[in-house]
Structure 1
Amino acid sequence: MADETPQDDGDGGDGIRTFPFPVDRSVLGVGMQVGPMGTGRTWPTAAPLGRVHRIDFHVVMLFTGGPVRHMIDFAEHEATAGDLLWIRPGQVHRFSQESEYRGTVLTMQPGFLPRATVETTGLYRYDLPPLLRPDPAQRAGLEAALAQLRREYEDTATLPLGLHTAVLRHCLTAFLLRLAHLAASSARTAGGQTDTAFTRFRDAVERGFATNHSVSAYADALGYSRRTLVRAVRAATGETPKSFIDRRVILEAKRLLAHTDLPIGRVGAAVGFPDGANFSKFFHQHTDMTPAAFRAELR
């Protein structure tokens, strides 16, 4: 199940590898897979257990056992029976060698669903929490939707390929709509109800963090006063707009340091620091590590 083969990340050397979606191993070559995790299963055969790596597809794991410790974007998460982990394309993660992964895993290739569905289900909402803890009613709905999806995925005899793929897309959409609702509800519970000002700011930061680190510039572009933006971001996240921007910049820097062999100066330039010394100072202030030490720790 989802037996991944790494592809070269294009940087040479010993940079962290990207694992592409293994479409050749999908039933009938469709852009998704669903099946069991657990003892004796081959999933994920080629994944470097205990090492940070990146994926270019979605992974949703619904656990029937635990606890399981799993790192996503340099944050450790502990899941137990009934919990879900949602890893999105481009995120770096690491399996735990000490944990036993049991349950059902869904993988999905970007582009398998139409654009409207992608937007409705929030497939690329990287601000939403990856660890989800549904209540009993939510879990029952998710389990039923996932079980139906798995039945349709494994039924290769009833329908021609075109209809089979269409049915899979509909079943997958039903599951993802439930999952997206759970993720959005979890985010509201954790951080309070987000208002339009924060939502617009969050989206603007996601688009512009690599070049724009100025709270005032974001406020001006969005048509808010700095005070309004501060109130909105604090209400939604408990932090200041500046710390929100800095946290996103640090996350991207960590991804590049872990995933590529780019010189540290070029990593800094990629996240808005033309001067390498300023980038190293910024990174150390926020992580208590130099960029070189952070990279060395992961290799």
Structure 2
Amino acid sequence: MQIGPMGTDRTWHAEAPLHRIHRIDFHVVMLFSDGPVRHMIDFAEYEATAGDVLWSRPGQVHRFWRTNEYRGTVLTMQPGFLPCATVEATGPYRYDLPPLLHPDDAWRDALKAALAQLQREYEDTTTLPLSLHTSVLRHSLTAFLLRLAHLAASSAGAAGQQAGTTFTLFRDAVEKGFAINHSVSAYADALGSSRRTLVRAVRAATGETPKGFIDKRVVLEAKRLLAHTDLPTGRVGAAVGFPDAANFSKFFQLHTGQAPAAFRAELR
């Protein structure tokens, strides 16, 4: 993990300027002290101002804007740095949760205090032995992330907080299997649920059908690959479960209104 002030001309590494589209395998949490700032996450544009928090999760694509000056504190961390229980509680792959959070005064003060404490522990490399220093960092990070995860779930509204077990299991199964399994019946069978029960659970939690939920996840992954890689569109299609390139192009155009190549060209 790393934590420190945001500033201009920062890069992930020498050959990756921030204005490019990035897909990274770690969390990025930005607490802004100024604004407004525009930032793209998973092809949606967000505008953050002072006191807002922007949370980009592992696997998402995002892009910094050239014309904005980012001010505040940025925290980055690998999911593997955290205990398993914390990872499960904070939902590192909950793409359904909003990345932009607008905490009220009490929440903002609590998050700023927790983040400031974490930064003090991070910068103090001499008081404790390395093993204890690392443990303290993990505990401080856990406290901050649990607060942040609760705020994100609250911001998602009642439906996001009260999603039933059937939908939760379905959502997790889709996240693991969308690249090879697009069948609603197959997911229902794997979960030991009837198709009708699954339809009710998904509709209650999201307002969508199970098929719509699956297709939305497939489209998102295809967009990420088109934006962040130079894979031919046929290989992008194969990566999300379409061995036939023509079928993938039809599917993508149906759901986005653009051919895969046109979507890629527009972004770049």
TM-score by length of 1: 0.83
Equivalent residue number for residue 175 of structure 1:
144
CA-atom RMSD in angstroms: 1.8
Distance of 1:107 and 1:192 partners within structure 2: 26
For residues 1-299 of structure 1, the aligned pairs below 5 Å read 32-38=1-7, 41-44=8-11, 46=14, 47-189=16-158, 191=160, 193-299=162-268
Cα deviation digits, residues 171-194 of structure 1 (max 9, x gap): 111101111111122223465621
Unmatched 5+ stretches in structure 2: none
In the superposition, relative to structure 1, how do residues 51 and 189 fare at CA in structure 2: closer, same or farther (>3 Å)?
farther
2:182–2:214 CA contact under 8 A, matched in 1: yes
Unmatched 5+ stretches in structure 1: 1-31
Q: Residue 278 of structure 1: CA displacement?
A: 0.7
Distance of 1:158 and 1:192 partners within structure 2: 41
2:10–2:18 CA contact under 8 A, matched in 1: no
2:39–2:46 CA contact under 8 A, matched in 1: yes
Distance of 1:189 and 1:96 partners within structure 2: 33
Q: Residue 50 of structure 1: CA displacement?
A: 3.1
- How many residue pairs are counted as aligned between the two chains? 266
Q: Residue 86 of structure 1: CA displacement?
A: 0.9
More divergent stretch after superposition (144-153 vs 87-96): 87-96
Distance of 2:223 and 2:127 partners within structure 1: 47
2:41–2:60 CA contact under 8 A, matched in 1: yes
Cα deviation digits, residues 50-99 of structure 1 (max 9, x gap): 32122222110011222211111111112122111111222211111222
1:192–1:235 CA contact under 8 A, matched in 2: no
Aligned partner of residue 157 in structure 2, secondary structure:
helix
TM-score by length of 2: 0.92
